[in-house]
Amino acid sequence: MTEVAPVLVGAAPLPPAAVVAVARHNAPVSLDADALTRVAQARAVIESLAVDPVPHYGVSTGFGALATTFIAPERRHQLQASLIRSHAAGTGAEVETEVVRALQLLRLQTLASGHTGVRPLVVETYAAMLNAGITPVVREYGSLGCSGDLAPLAHIALAAMGEGDVRDASGALVPASTALEAAGIEPLVLLEKEGLALINGTDGMLGMLVLALHDLEMLLTTADLAAAMSIESQLGTDAVFAADLMALRPQSGQGESAANLRAFLGTSPMVASHKGPEDGRVQDAYSLRCSPQVHGAARDTMAHAAMIAGRELASVIDNPVVTSDGRVQSNGNFHGAPVAAVLDFLAISVADVASVAERRTDRAMDPARNHGLPPFLAHEIGVDSGLMIAQYAAAGIVSELKRLATPASVDSIPSSAMQEDHVSMGWAAARKLRRAIDGLGRVLAIEILTGARALDLRAPLLAGPATGAVRDLVRTVAEGPGPDRFLSPEMEAVTELVLSGAVARVAKEHIA
């Protein structure tokens, strides 16, 4: 296995690639020395307030609706522990390891900012847990996205205290105390302000946004390739993707998708075989002709979402924060609205890209529209069903993606005795986007499986270099045209090629 370079935390905002490296590829983290100095300086501010008889929120008071309740010094350790235990109230299935690691990393980045007031020991403990592969069990439900991802972050903090359950580096479910002991990590005993600092953040929804953007960049290239296979095998034209036509509408995402289609189709013998006035068709259907417009709109949505993610990665999210001039100031930066909105926006684009892909797949099945291919691409018409039901599966997924495109961020259910009377639902938006991305990958896999069979059925006409190479890749896991067979395993295998990025890589390697 290739060793992954370590990621430095605390020196500068984390780039998205670093989040993916730690979350998905287990890259180790290291702490910037200057960051630890700033952390210690901010902690000194908190310690000075801890002995002040005047109440200070989060230091010597309760939380949320109990913010006006003064807590005596001898009860504050219990206060911090109680905060974490009570807020670790997630329920449902375990959240994926990569999401939890992103959550851990992004909270660590904020803790290392020198604006939260925790001790350097807290920062070092979070880094040690990541490097030891200790992944706290975080549950699916529990976050309203304001004040940030409270419940998911509380599960992380609980594990750092040596309580609750975790997955160790091997993936085994063990008590947190056991995992910490095995890694030589002392459980944290939280002091003033530290409990709040560990749970006030948008880290869960942001981590899922960064992972989604990484995956969608690959999937939109795959969508362009899938469209190229459909256009080519259905004897469509690439003339409509010309650069001068795209320049008449200078939408950057559309231009990028059109450039991909020109590269995938430009040297295709199959496309060249029917060029000229003798073709007889005036123009292709929208699902073929307008592929760059639909895919490009998703690319532009991604660009906006990436801008928001970049700003959030450069943010310090906590309440209260220790400012550069030494104030401890309450604020509302933990509200997840900016992130929640783009998570929902992406879900809309994912549904649209999947929808047009399914329409291209459906055209390949219909002898009235597929220009000479057999019905459902079946081997023996009337006996075999071919890929008929594969298209049903794509249609069913697209229907679900349309439901998942309904925004979560327009909802709000007040909490904390109306103190938190407007919430973002950003965690929910992120969770449904992850499901939507999986669905998009499956719809594209069905289109690619269909396109591969259609290209084979066009023999002796030859596919282009990129589409032909992807067809050959598909043939390593799925047989070509022939009598009906158990189709589900082939669909799953091609889906794995899509979701792993293999299809996109092969396509790029064979661009003319």
- In order along the chain (512 residues), what is the average pLDDT of each group of 10 residues? 84 97 97 97 92 78 68 82 94 97 98 96 98 98 85 97 97 98 97 93 96 98 98 94 96 97 94 74 87 98 98 94 91 90 98 98 95 94 95 98 94 78 86 98 98 97 96 97 97 98 96 72
d(CA 107, CA 115): 12
DSSP 8-class letter at 145:
B
- 166 by DSSP, 3-state: which? strand
Q: Which residues contact 90 (CB under 8 A, 6 or more apart)?
A: 138, 139, 140, 141, 142, 143, 151, 152, 154, 155
- For residues 385 and 376, the answer to whether their CB atoms sit within 8 Å is yes
Question: Looking at residue 205, what is its pLDDT?
Answer: 95
- The DSSP secondary structure of 303-329, one letter per residue, reads HHHHHHHHHHHT----SSEE-TTS-EE
C-alpha of 142 from chain center: 19
Residue 265 half-sphere exposure toward CB, CA atoms < 13 A? 32
Compute the distance between CA of residue 393 and CA of residue 438 in angstroms, rounded to an integer.
14
Give the tokens for residue 263: 């590269």
214: left (phi over 0), alpha (psi -120 to 50) or beta: alpha
Strand partners, 30: 8
Rounded to whole angstroms, the Cα distance separating 474 from 452 reads 7
Active site residues: 57
- 56 beta partners: none
Q: Which candidate, 477, 480, 502, 505, places its Cα nearest to that of 491?
A: 477
Q: Round to whole Å and give the CA distance between 330 and 58.
A: 9
Tell me, what's the pLDDT at 471?
A: 98
As a whole number of angstroms, the distance between CA 85 and CA 120 comes to 22
In the block, residue with structure tokens 């499956």: 442
Residue 423's CB is within 10 A of a number of other CB atoms, namely: 24
Going along the chain from its start, the domains and CATH numbers come out as 7-201 (1.10.275.10), 208-509 (1.20.200.10)
Cα separation, 14 vs 207, in Å, equals 11
Helix (H, G, I), strand (E, B) or coil at 88: coil
CB 494 within 8 A of CB 445: yes
Give the whole-angstrom CA distance, residue 192 versus residue 60.
7
> Which own/partner pairs from 255-258 qualify as long-range (CB within 8 Å, at least 24 positions apart)?
255/292, 255/296, 256/296, 256/299, 257/220, 257/224, 257/291, 257/292, 257/295, 257/296, 257/299, 258/292, 258/296
Q: How far is CA 127 from CA 6, 120, 135, 211, 285, in A?
A: 12, 11, 12, 20, 54
Give the count of beta carbons closer than 10 Å to the beta carbon of residue 171.
Answer: 9
CA atoms within 13 A on the CB side of 434: 18
CA dist., res. 208 & res. 202, Å (int): 10
Before 414, cis peptide (omega within 30)? no
Q: What is the pLDDT of residue 248?
A: 97
Q: Are 205 and 426 in contact (CB under 8 A)?
A: yes
Closest to 159 (Cα-Cα) out of 98, 103, 114, 76 = 103
On whether the CB atoms of residues 358 and 391 are closer than 8 A, the answer is yes
Q: Report which residue type is found at 250.
A: P
- Helix/strand/coil for 201: strand
Helix (H) or strand (E) holding 121: helix 120-131
Residue 278: the pLDDT is: 57
Spatial distance between the Cα atoms of 334 and 410, rounded to a whole number of angstroms:
17
The answer to whether 208 touches 159, Cβ cutoff 8 Å, is no
The C-alpha atoms of residue 351 and residue 407 are separated, in whole angstroms, by 12
CB-based contacts of 284: which residues, under 8 Å, 6+ apart? 231, 234, 236, 237, 240
Backbone dihedral angles phi then psi of residue 27, each to the nearest 5 degrees: -60, 140
Q: Quick check: helix, strand or coil at residue 365? A: helix
* Residues 426, 450 contacting (CB under 8 angstroms): no
The predicted structure's pLDDT at residue 423: 82
> Which pLDDT value is given to residue 1?
45
Contact 22, 135 (CB under 8 A): no
Q: Residue 270's pLDDT is what?
A: 92
The single-letter DSSP state of residue 406 is: S
